[in-house]
Amino acid sequence: MSFKKLSIVIPVYNEESTILLILQKIKSVHLLENLQKEIIIVNDFSRDNSDAIISEFISNNPELEIKYFQHQKNQGKGASVRTAVKEATGEYLIIQDADLEYDPNDYNAMITPILSGKADVVYGSRFMNGTPHRVLFFWHTFANKFITSLSNIATNLSLTDVETCYKLFETKTIQNIRLSENKFGFDPEVTAKISRIPNIKIYEVGISYFGRTYQQGKKIGWKDGVRAIYCIIKYAVFKMN
């Protein structure tokens, strides 16, 4: 299967120390089959210098296709993704955090199952193959695997990393899904709703991961884990919209 453009969705909240670096990395990535890149940035009411950095990057790179949106109050990652998804014009889209935990050089590994016609959706797993991973928190990893297992039980999938940032969707498919979660509950919600689509082909590929500490700005916490469990029950067990 061939397509022409990949939309790259970037939610941003107080990422002044990393947003320029991640945008430069995205700019430098050469996609397979000369795919075009559409960069969609949603600034979720950052209170640091993120806006100025993003605006300067856009001004200095007029050759790039960039759409920039700003929320008037902080709403969360899920809300930012929804804002961007509505505006995407690429045939496929991928979610990219604004920090440096995930490497855009993995985009080609993500799109390969799409180009070969094997997949409709691709998740990037931090727990597969021999790619580099920073060693961090045991309980964070344990919680992630626990939530992934619960999600798999409820959806009858066999994912290894439901909480991964790197999720690649056909744009029209995700645009037709009603998404409600404003924060990190987006991950179990979208997984539950994707799993209900008849005959959808979901693949995973191994990706690298360079995790941040909380001192470096990591935002997800134990309350988000509790919310994830609630979302699995709501959207996967009871199949609520």
Structure confidence at residue 21 (pLDDT):
98
Structure confidence at residue 1 (pLDDT):
76
Structure confidence at residue 213 (pLDDT):
60
* C-beta separation of 8 from 91 below 8 A: no
pLDDT exceeds 70 at position 216:
no
CA-CA distance, 205 to 148, in Å (whole number)? 16
- The domains found in the chain, sorted by start residue, are 5-237 (3.90.550.10)
Cβ-proximal residues to 83 (8 Å cutoff; 6+ apart), any chain = 42, 69, 71
pTM, two decimal places: 0.94
Nearest CA among 8, 41, 12 for reference residue 217: 12
pLDDT of 100-130, one tens digit each?
A: 999 999 999 999 999 999 999 999 999 987 6
| Mean pLDDT computed over 18-28 | 98
DSSP letters of 183-215? STTHHHHHHHHHHTSTT--EEEEE--B-PPPTT
pLDDT exceeds 80 at position 134:
no
More confident residue, 217 or 166: 166
Q: Quick one: pLDDT band at residue 224, thresholds 50, 70, 90?
A: confident
